[in-house]
């Protein structure tokens, strides 16, 4: 990935004060010249798009699973046994992939297969470039209150549904900031432009999937009351890819961490996501 920095736009137009002294050659304004400097930044996605698993059939929907955090960014760390969010999210993403592949009806890609760092824009950027039909970012929350527990599904909104959602979004969005340098680089105005361009349809489809995911997850795992929330997560900002962020539980809660760190628990999460994905695409196919 190349970041292009516009250094300067030079204009040699003469000012009225000097007009009399300027030679004729300078009376006419020379063409504006732009100087550009390109600096490479480390990007896993730039090396190539993630591998797609499943049937070799481009007509099947593509689901991109995004294991949150990775590399130098561990995400939340549990006070119960030091379980790291980046490991939990990758294990869950892998379980979801296996469950989805069993259906034979979707193709699946993971934004990261190992313990590597990705900037947030590369996560949804990969999904966009692959023309994904659904993007699911997997996370696990943490809170000061050890009693806080259960899963929550977030979809994109400029306006957070509540203060907790806003705090969580700003924490998750910090993944791009290392030593004060913002690796993502999208400033507030770019973000709002993206939001403006977001098709209503994409947001509707995301919200429909969020509801479906909660419905399918409720019998399998702990889900919070008021479990569909809205906030401005950078990772959900692809304007044309329906996207949700699934906080699968709290690493600060002893029961949640035991559940998420266990194979059986992860399978329950995975089955919930897989059945929601199946119903989602069946409905969309029927609606055509
Ligand atoms: Zn997270």
Question: Which one is the CATH code of 43-287: 3.40.630.30, 3.40.640.10, 3.40.630.40, 3.30.2130.10?
Answer: 3.40.630.40
Q: Would the pLDDT of 3 be above 60?
A: no
SS (H, E, C) 184-217: CCCCHHHHHHHHHHCCHHHHHHHHHHHHHHHHHH
Q: Would the pLDDT of 25 be above 50?
A: no
pLDDT for 184 = 63
Residue 169 Cα to ligand 1 midpoint, Å, equals 9
Using a pLDDT cut of 90, give the percent of the chain over it.
60
Residue 65 Cα to ligand 1 midpoint, Å, equals 14
Residue 14 Cα to ligand 1 midpoint, Å, equals 55
**pLDDT by residue (tens digit) across 219-245?**
999 999 899 999 889 899 888 899 999
- Pick 92 or 170 by higher pLDDT: 92
Residue 172 Cα to ligand 1 midpoint, Å, equals 5
Number of other residues whose CB lies within 10 A of the CB of residue 63: 26
Least confident of 9-18, 63-72, 150-159, 194-203: 9-18
Q: Would the pLDDT of 69 be above 70?
A: yes
**pLDDT by residue (tens digit) across 97-122?**
999 999 999 999 999 999 999 999 89
Residue 68 Cα to ligand 1 midpoint, Å, equals 5
Residue 214 Cα to ligand 1 midpoint, Å, equals 19
pLDDT for 63 = 98
Residue 12 Cα to ligand 1 midpoint, Å, equals 50
Where in the chain is CATH 3.40.630.40? 43-287
């Amino acid at each position: 990935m190349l970041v292009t920095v516009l250094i300067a736009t030079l204009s040699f137009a003469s000012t009225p004060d000097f007009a009399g002294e300027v030679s004729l050659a300078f009376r006419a304004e020379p063409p504006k010249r732009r100087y550009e400097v390109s600096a490479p930044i480390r990007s896993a996605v730039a090396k190539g798009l993630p591998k797609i698993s499943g049937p070799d059939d481009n007509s099947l929907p593509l689901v991109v699973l995004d294991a949150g955090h990775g590399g130098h960014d561990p995400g939340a760390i549990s006070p119960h046994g030091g379980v790291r969010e980046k490991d939990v999210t990758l294990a869950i993403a892998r379980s979801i992939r296996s469950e989805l592949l069993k259906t034979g009806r979707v193709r699946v890609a993971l934004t990261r297969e190992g313990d590597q760092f990705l900037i947030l824009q590369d996560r949804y950027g990969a999904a966009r470039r692959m023309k994904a039909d659904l993007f699911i970012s997997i996370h696990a929350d943490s809170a000061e209150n050890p009693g806080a527990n259960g899963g929550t599904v977030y979809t994109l909104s400029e306006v957070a549904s509540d203060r907790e959602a806003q705090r969580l979004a700003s924490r998750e969005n910090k993944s791009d900031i290392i030593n004060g340098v913002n690796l993502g680089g999208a400033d507030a105005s770019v973000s709002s432009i993206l939001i403006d361009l977001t098709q209503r349809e994409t947001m509707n489809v995301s919200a429909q999937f969020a509801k479906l995911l909660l419905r399918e997850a409720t019998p399998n795992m702990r889900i919070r009351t008021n479990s569909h929330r809205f906030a401005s997560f950078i990772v959900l900002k692809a304007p044309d890819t329906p996207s949700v962020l699934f906080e699968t539980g709290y690493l600060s809660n002893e029961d949640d961490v035991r559940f998420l760190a266990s194979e059986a628990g992860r399978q329950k999460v995975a089955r919930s996501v897989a059945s929601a994905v199946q119903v989602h695409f069946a409905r969309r196919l029927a609606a055509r």
